[in-house]
Structure 1
Amino acid sequence: MSHHTTAAAETPASWLKIAAFAAIYIIWGSTYLAIVFAIETLPPFLMAGLRFLLAGALLYTFARFKGAQAPSKIHWRSTFIIGGLLLLVGNGAVVWAEQYVASGIAALLVTTEPLWIVALQWAGKEKTKPNKIVLLGMLIGIVGMLVLVNPWEAAGSIELWPSLVIFIAAGAWALGSLYSNSAPLPSSQVLTTGMQMLCGGALLLLAGTVAGEWQTTQWSAVSQQSWLAFGYLVVFGSLIAFTAYSWLTRVAPPAQVSTYAYVNPVIAVFLGWALANEEITLQTLAATALLVTAVVIITLNSKH
């Protein structure tokens, strides 16, 4: 009888798991296109800053209301560093670059994050040398990136500087992720995420202020499409997908959870083509195949 009850109790969890994976696959894959629509008439840094401040305030309030302990100064210091790396540099640079680079291309460049993880672990204190299969994955990833950006072809190629900015953003995201593994953080994952968003959002607002975005933005001219995209990024991109991701990191194997890294770019390229008339060239398809293959190889064969 008890066995039957346990099995019945597990059934909703499997549905929840499927729903959570669908959220991080589809929603995170669609955020690249939502960013394009948002920054058509909204300034990039202020848009990203307001997005994370709003979502962060809601998550933080919810976690405290649910009984999470008040964070200490060291917790705020950790989340400030993580928020700076993940959201100011990791996300802010991507949002800025999407003014010049198609959303699908941006998503493909972000897939280089696992390459950065391997490289940073190799260069770090532990000197974790990757095995031969992971090194092969890194090589395929580098070839994929060169096929995508093609720095030797000046005319008609993808914008080189914004692409480089996205590549560096992926490195900052990797560095922030590695730091968060050992940083002193609150036990509540929701509280931690809220704090990271509050810190990152504040830094992005500061960046927008320094860039003079308050003065140069025609707030009355912001389109309905941009506001809707902004709302989608707050509710779905930040609140729902991040919550789903946090939950999955506790109930699913890491190798399974990290599969979002090779599903997101495929979704992003498809949505960019279907909804924003972004061109899919043979070059893009070849780069997609190489980058996704590289990420699959690295993810399945890494120790992290």
Structure 2
Amino acid sequence: MTTVAHLRKDHALSWTALVTVWIVWGSTYLGISVAVETIPPFLMAGTRFLVAGALMFAFVAPRHARGERRPTWPHIRSAIIIGALMLVGGNGLLSAGEEHLDSGLAALIVATVPVWMVLINALVTRTRIPATLVAALVLGTTGIAILVGGPGGDVDVGAAVVVVIASALWAAGSVYARSAPLPSHPMVAASTQMIAAGVMLLALGVVRGEPARVDVAEISGASLAGLAWLVFAGSIVAFTAYVYANSTLPNDTVATYAYVNPVIAVILGVTLGDETVGANVYLGGAVIVGAVALIVTGRSKGRPPRRHDPPRTRLRGRVRDRRGTSPV
């Protein structure tokens, strides 16, 4: 009886973690949209990741980043590269794009990340591109075209292109992270990447002249609340929940966040952000979610069951296999 109750408790906790990932990562698009209303995008993103990374590293370092487990130069170099691709190029450009795009629409474009990942991996490894990937690419491209120019659409094309580039850079960083030398503990790896990216984003903001655009008196309470949500809920709580869900639930179950997040983002954008949803969002979103589902289900079927994974490396291997596939 005790064992059954314990298993049920663990199962409930796993699903609680996954639902947290669904909702919180889906909400970060609205958080970014609100934060960049009165805080320049690169300074906002840099502050977010530097604070979140420093807090997370301070929490995990005493136990998991000392002695033989201390990050080495190859680890730091990987953190810089991954942070530059995923968090500077990916999230930084997303934040810039959301100055001119609704959060829900941006989330639907970013939902194409799994498709980009499979394409980039195929190009890097010089493997044959399967028919399912070709179909997913066609669907994803069609979906983005509908979002931008479909019925009822009035979209800033330049901002949409910026978010497409952000998605591709995030995917490139995710592919690189699979084989890059990283600290053994996933939270040490994530925190070092966030710290490196935070420094780069702040420097980029300075180069772009963003400090001159900052008027402390004009920064709204809503923007500060959005930034705080991104730091604590989006970057710390949701990541921890993802690590736990990823270690206890089947691959195809955890992967559902890839197409649940944009749905949550659209719902929150409409209900809390006063965003409008036209026919282009319904049609384009449905096509993009279909493309992502095609990739995600195909990847899940191609992987061995979790119970065959070596027990001592299971968590680390699974986290690294899909590290960084979260959009924000």
Alignment TM class, shorter chain as reference: over 0.9
- Amino acid in the other structure paired with 2:148: V
- Equivalent pair of 2:246/2:254 in contact (CA under 8 Å): yes
C-alpha distance in structure 1 between counterparts of 2:60 and 2:145, whole Å: 43
Q: How does 1:113-152 map to 2 (within 5 A)?
A: 113-124=113-124, 126-150=125-149
Q: How many residue pairs get matched? A: 298
1:112 equivalenced with 2:112 (yes/no):
yes
Amino acid at match of 1:46: L
Aligned to 2:36: 39
1:49-88 to 2 correspondences below 5 Å: 49-68=46-65, 69-88=69-88
The CA distance in 1 between the partners of 2:259 and 2:18, in whole Å, is 13
Quote the Cα distance in structure 1 between the aligned partners of 2:176 and 2:128.
18
Equivalents in 1 of 2:250, 2:190: separation in Å?
Answer: 20
| TM, length-normalised to structure 1 | 0.93
C-alpha separation in 2, matches of 1:114 and 1:128? 17
- For the 8 Å contact 2:15–2:245, the answer to whether it is kept is no
Secondary structure (helix, strand or coil) at the match of 1:17 reads helix
What's the CA shift string for 1:95-151, capped at 9, x where partnerless?
001011111110011011112112212211x22324323322222222111111129
Give me the CA root mean square deviation: 1.7
* Distance in 2 of aligned mates of 1:134 and 1:39: 35
Deviation per CA, 1:14-68, whole angstroms, max 9, x where unpaired? 1211111111100011111111111111111111101111110011111112343
Aligned-pair CA distance for 1:203: 0.8
Instruction: Give the match's secondary structure for 1:66.
Output: helix
Aligned partner of residue 71 in structure 1, secondary structure: coil
Q: Distance in 2 between matches of 1:280 and 1:156?
A: 9
Work out the CA distance in 1 between the residues paired with 2:127 and 2:16: 35
Per-residue CA shift, 1:64-95, capped at 9, x if unaligned?
A: 12343211111000111111111001000000
Alpha-carbon offset, residue 247 of structure 1: 2.4
Residue equivalent to 1:95: 95
Name the residue aligned to 2:272.
275
The whole-number CA distance in structure 1 between the counterparts of 2:200 and 2:210 is 14
Instruction: Kindly state the Cα deviation for residue 156 of structure 1 after the two structures are TM-superposed.
Output: 6.1
1:255 alignment counterpart: 252
Name the counterpart of 1:216. 213
**Aligned-pair distance for 1:283?**
1.2
Answering whether residue 174 of structure 2 is matched by residue 177 of structure 1, we say: yes
Aligned with 2:195 (options 174, 177, 198): 198
Aligned counterpart in structure 1 of residue 286 of structure 2, from 276, 283, 289: 289
Letter in 2 for 1:57: A
Letter in 2 for 1:73: W
**Per-residue deviation, 1:266:** 0.7
SS of residue paired to 1:40: coil
User: Which region of structure 1 is more displaced relative to structure 2, 282-291 or 111-120?
Assistant: 111-120
- Deviation (angstroms), 1:212: 1.3
Q: Is the 8 A contact 2:153 2:279 kept in 1?
A: no
1:215 is displaced (CA, Å) by: 2.1
Structure 1: unaligned runs, 5 residues or longer: none
- Write the distance in 1 (CA, Å) between the matches of 2:127 and 2:105: 30
Counterparts of 2:203 and 2:7 in 1: how far apart (Å)? 46
Higher mean C-alpha deviation, range 46-55 or range 251-260: 251-260
Structure 2 length-normalised TM: 0.87
Equivalent AA in structure 2 for residue 224 of structure 1: G
Q: How far off is 1:263 after superposition?
A: 0.5
Contact 1:138–1:298 (CA<8 Å) still a contact in 2? no
Question: Match for residue 262 of structure 2?
Answer: 265
Q: Which runs of 5+ in 2 are unaligned?
A: 303-320, 322-328
